[in-house]
Structure 1
Amino acid sequence: MKIPYSQEEITEIFRRFSVQRPEPVSELAYTNPFTLLVAVVLSAQATDAGVNKATRELFRVADNAAAMAALGEDAIREHIRTIGLYRNKAKNVAALAETLVAQHGGEVPGDRAALEALPGVGRKTASVVLNVAFGEETLAVDTHIFRIGNRLKLAPGATPEAVEQGLLRIIPQPYRRHAHHWLILHGRYVCKARKPDCEACVIADLCKAEIKTNDVPAPLHPIP
């Protein structure tokens, strides 16, 4: 599908994102690939802040696969009761910890197929872990990126996979490593679901969204 942007415009969009957030990081709290994996599994249909609150004590007592497996489903469930779908998530976290111990020596694999074979881990979760923990140029499409891909007409698609492939086709090589975080943070804080904050948008002049209310880009400077 042809999109209404030139390659120069796309490059400029991601150049501005890179200036705004030179080294973007996940807002999930984690200390190693295992705690990152668990945090991402728990973040489905939950806010990062809510997950961080629930995992603060959980990761204090179990920050590796062996300790989490030993903790067990019941204890995990008590730690994460404040987040959505906690019963099923506790079952998955316990099972994935046991699988990591049994099949991977307790280490998180840096391979997509092995990650997606873990309980509770789908394509999006695997993409986040591969990107954040292993530095791969993956792009996990959450609700924010799915919305932006369609709203801005950067990568229109009916499914997250379609939006993912569309974005990977157009994002220039220098920007693929951090594109996942830039798009999520832009969707979370600027191009919001109910009412986009177009006055705060650094790409307002380039954006092709029909919903936009402003054509003047916000001042471009790094966000602390």
Structure 2
Amino acid sequence: MVKQLPYPAIREIFSRLHAIEPEPKGELDHVNAFTLVVAVALSAQATDAGVNKATKRLFEIADTPEKMLALGEEGVIEHIRTIGLYRNKAKNVIRLSRILVEEYGGEVPNSRAALMSLPGVGRKTANVVLNMWWRQPAQAVDTHIFRVGNRTGIAPGRDVDAVERAIEDHVPADFQLHAHHWLILHGRYICVARKPKCGICPIADLCLYEDKTET
């Protein structure tokens, strides 16, 4: 496993990422907390672009738990059948909508435990919602963050929980809010899985990855 980068190097990395994109945004389209929960839940094993295409019309007609329940499971399926595992995901969307209506007055809760009690919502999904909607410094570790954290030495860990803890422990507090977005974007567009684009990487000189590429 790659060693842990020292604090000054990590601060410099996030200073550079902040200079490039001061306010990084998630790429899932949503109009409120409820549609964000649904979009993130649907994005498991799917691309953000594919989810956005599927939910464009869905969120126009069902942007609240009540409206989603009125649409029904088959109605949801009609909109999301291009997404992987769409039948199970549609079932979860209806179930979580019913729980939000019956137990939370139709509002999305702002605690991780409450969010994780919803069908189809795991820790990563809950952290995305806490971060993007409630602006809490929660770290949603996906495959991109896991790869970047381990390759660079920013947040090495053997599993996603360890990487999440490493981000919380080693990323400076003033960068915590946007840390996971910077890391996701970096992993999605520069530190890609098969052949990282080290030649254009703004943090290559600080990164601990040994097999750097020239392009």
TM range (shorter): over 0.9
**What are the Cα deviations for residues 45-91 of structure 1, in whole angstroms up to 9, with x where unaligned?**
00000000000010011001110111111110111000111111000
Letter in 1 for 2:169: R
Letter in 2 for 1:212: K
The equivalent residue for 1:115 is 115
User: C-alpha distance in 1, partners of 2:136/2:4?
Assistant: 28
Query: What is residue 18 of structure 1 aligned with on the other side?
Result: 18
**Structure 1: runs of 5+ lacking an equivalent:** 216-224
Question: 2:171 aligns to what?
Answer: 171
Q: Which stretches in structure 2 are left out of the alignment for 5+ residues?
A: none
Q: Which residue of 1 aligns with 2:192?
A: 192
Match runs of 1:65-80 below 5 Å: 65-80=65-80
Which 4+ stretches in 1 moved above 4 angstroms?
A: none
The letter of the residue matching 2:183 is: L
Is 1:34 the counterpart of 2:62? The answer is no
Cα deviation code 1:70-118 (max 9, x no counterpart): 1111110111000111111000001001110000010100011100000
Q: Contact between 2:2 and 2:156, CA under 8 Å: does it hold in 1? A: no
CA distance in 2, matches of 1:143, 1:183: 10
The alignment's TM-score, normalised by the length of structure 2, stands at: 0.97
Shift of 1:4: 4.4
- Name the CA distance, whole Å, in 1 between partners of 2:4 and 2:182: 21
CA–CA separation in structure 1 for the residues paired with 2:11 and 2:89:
39
TM superposition score normalised by structure 1: 0.93
Aligned residue pair count: 215
Equivalent-residue separation in structure 1 for 2:50 and 2:124 (angstroms):
19
CA distance in 1, matches of 2:61, 2:2: 51
Residues in 2 aligned to 1:3 and 1:137: alpha-carbon distance in whole angstroms: 24
> What percent identity do the matched residue pairs reach?
59
CA contact (8 A) 1:64 1:106 kept: yes
1:53-132 equivalence runs, <5 A: 53-132=53-132
Name which of structure 1's ranges 149-158 and 202-211 shifts more when overlaid on structure 2: 149-158
AA in 1 matched with 2:8:
E
Q: Mark the CA change 1:207 to 1:160 in structure 2 (over 3 Å): closer, same or farther.
A: same
Aligned partner of 1:43 in structure 2 is 43
Counterpart of 1:155 in structure 2: which amino acid?
Answer: A
Partner of 1:218 in structure 2? Answer: none
The one-character-per-residue Cα deviations of 1:188-214 (angstroms, maximum 9, x if unpaired) are 000001111112211011111122125
User: Residue 204 of structure 1 contacts residue 214 of structure 1 at CA under 8 Å; is this kept in 2?
Assistant: no
**Structure 2 SS opposite 1:134:** coil
